[in-house]
Amino acid sequence: MQNKLVIVFFLFSALVFSQETEVVKDTTVTFKKRVLESTEVDFMLSYYNQNGVHSSVSGGIGSEKLTDIASNIVVAIPMNDDDILTIDAGISAYTSASSSNINPYDSKNPTPWQSSSGASEQDALVSLVANYSHSSDDRNFIWNADVSFSNEYDYTSIGFGGGISKLFNDKNSEVSVKVNAYLDQWRPIYPGELRNGNYPSYNPLFSPNFVAWDSTARNSYSASISFSQVLTKKTQFSIFFDLVQQDGKLSTPYHRIYFADKPDYYYEDSFNVFDYRLADAIEKLPSSRFKLPIGLRWNYYINETFVVRTYYRYYTDNWNITAHTASIEVPIKLTDKFTVSPMYRYYTQTQSKYFAPFEKHLSTEEFYTSDYDLSSFNANQYGLGVSYTDIFTSSKIWKFGLKNIDFRFNHYDRSDGLSSNIASLGFKFVMQ
C-alpha cells in the first residue's frame, strides 16, 4: 500500500514598528550575524574501483569489476542575512565488466567471467540538487526546501523535499524533521537474449520465463526525525530514525536468473567456437518495500588533540533483512592546520527471503533474485583522512581564498569476496 506524505510548512514573520515624535526620532540600529558571510565553493573528486565474483547481471556469478570517477561542485550563496541557496552539481563516469555482459553477444568471446564489449560497458550519471534554507532572526528556527534531478542511460530520478529544525535550551538541543519524495523512471534494458522475443535465433529450444515490464515507475518516500543534545562541554549525543516506503519496479531488469528445475540452453556460433548460458528469467521482486533505520551518534572531545566520533545504526525491512552498522573515527589535530582522521566501520546483515545463489531458485517461486547485495554477509571498512585548514585563506584563486583541503582513502572488504577502494579529494574556497 502506497503511503502518501503530506508536507506542511508554517512560516511565521513579525513586523516591528517604531514610533517617531515631531522632535525626537529613534535611530537605534540592530546588528545580527549573517548565516553565511560569503559565497563558498566546494569542489570534490573521487575515484572508486571494486572487484568480486558474484555479478547479478550473470545470475550471481562472474566479474563485478567496476571503475568510477566522479566530480561534484557545491556552491553555497548567501541571499541575505538569513537565507542561503545551495547548488550541488555532479557527474560520474564508470566502466563495468558486469554491465557489459547485459548483451555479451556482440563480443567475439562472450563469457560471464570477464568483460565484453558493448554500449552498456560504460555510462555517465549527471545530477543536480538545489536547496534553499531560511533561518529566523534568533537562529533558533530553520526551514529548508530542495529539488533534485539525476539521469543515466537507463534511469531518471526527480526528487523534492524539505525540513524544519528547532533549537532550544540555549542552542544545546535540536529537533529536526525532514521529508523527501523521489519519483523515478526506468528505461528497462533486458539481457540481450531476452530482447524482442527473438529466442530461436539463439537456440530453437530456448523458451524463457520472461515477460516485459508493463510499467517503469519506482517511487520512494521518506521521513526522518532526529534529536541532538549537548550533554556536557565535551560530550554531544544524537539519535534519529527514518521511515522509508518504496513502491513500483524495485527489481533490476538486466539481472539474470537461472532456475534449478529448467534445462540449460546455450548460445553457440556456427563454428562452435564459444557458447554462453541463456537466462531463464530476470530478477523479480515485490513492488513494495518498507525500511526502518534507527541510529545514534556519540561524540567526545578528549582534548585539543583528540576527538572521538562514534556511530551505530540498526536497520530492518519487510524483505527480512536485518542489519547492524558500527563505526568509530578519531580525528587527531597534529597542528593548527593539519588533522588526520583514522576510521573503522563494521557492517553485517541477514539474507533477504527472496535471495538464492546461482541456479538455486525454482521456477515455481513467486519472487527471485541472485543479487548478493540482498544476501547474508559481513563487511569491514578501514580509512584515513588528512585535512588542511587555513582560516585566513592566504592562498587565493581569483576572488576565492582556499579554506580547506580534505583527502580520504577507504578500503572495503565483504565476506562474499567483494572488495573496493575509494579515494576522494575535496577543496573548499571562500569568496573574499
Q: In angstroms, rounded to a whole number, what is the distance separating the alpha carbons of residues 275 and 12?
A: 69
Q: In angstroms, rounded to a whole number, what is the distance separating the alpha carbons of residues 192 and 208?
A: 13
Q: In angstroms, rounded to a whole number, what is the distance separating the alpha carbons of residues 410 and 412?
A: 7
Q: In angstroms, rounded to a whole number, what is the distance separating the alpha carbons of residues 168 and 172?
A: 7
Is 177 in contact with 223 (CB distance < 8 Å)? yes
What DSSP state is assigned to residue 201?
G
Cell 556552491 belongs to 75
Q: In angstroms, rounded to a whole number, what is the distance separating the alpha carbons of residues 128 and 87?
A: 7
Helix (H, G, I), strand (E, B) or coil at 318: coil
- Per the structure, the count of domains in the chain is 1
Q: In angstroms, rounded to a whole number, what is the distance separating the alpha carbons of residues 298 and 328?
A: 10
Write down the pLDDT at residue 25. 39
Is 379 in contact with 412 (CB distance < 8 Å)? yes
Is 213 in contact with 254 (CB distance < 8 Å)? no
Backbone phi, psi, residue 100, to 5°: -65, -25
188 assigned to some structural domain = yes
* Grid cell at residue 90: 555532479
Q: What are the respective helix, strand and coil percentages of the chain, to the nearest 5?
A: 5, 55, 40
C-alpha triplet 201, 204, 210: angle, nearest 5°: 80
Helix (H, G, I), strand (E, B) or coil at 375: coil
Is 284 in contact with 251 (CB distance < 8 Å)? yes
3-state secondary structure 137-195: CCCCEEEEEEEEEEEECCEEEEEEEEEEEEEECCCCEEEEEEEEEEEEEECCCCCHHHH
32 assigned to some structural domain = no
CATH number of the domain encompassing residue 52: 2.40.160
Burial of 50 (0-12, 13-18, 19+ CB in 10 A): middle
DSSP states along 326-357: EEEE--EE-SSSEEEEEEEEEEEEPPPTTB--
Write down the pLDDT at residue 195. 84
Q: In angstroms, rounded to a whole number, what is the distance separating the alpha carbons of residues 71 and 69?
A: 7
Q: In angstroms, rounded to a whole number, what is the distance separating the alpha carbons of residues 287 and 218?
A: 9
Is 65 in contact with 26 (CB distance < 8 Å)? no
Identify the CA nearest to 217 among candidates 156, 271, 141. 156
256 forms beta bridges with 282
Write down the pLDDT at residue 107. 53
214 membership: H or E segment, kind and range: none
20 assigned to some structural domain = no
User: In angstroms, how far apart are the furthest CA atoms of the chain?
Assistant: 106
Give the mean pLDDT per block of 10 residues along the chain (432 residues): 35 30 41 88 97 94 93 97 98 82 62 42 86 96 98 95 97 98 96 82 83 95 98 97 98 96 80 71 97 98 97 98 98 97 98 97 97 98 97 83 96 98 97 89
26 assigned to some structural domain = no
Residue 109 Cα to chain centre, angstroms: 35
- Determine how many CB atoms are found less than 10 A away from the CB of residue 419: 14
Backbone phi, psi, residue 45, to 5°: -125, 145
22 assigned to some structural domain = no
Structural domain boundaries enclosing 414: 40-431
Return the amino acid letter for 404. N
User: If phi over 0 gives left and psi between -120 and 50 gives alpha, with beta otherwise, what is residue 170?
Assistant: left
321 assigned to some structural domain = yes
146 assigned to some structural domain = yes
10 assigned to some structural domain = no
Write down the pLDDT at residue 18. 31
Identify the CA nearest to 323 among candidates 344, 359, 295. 295
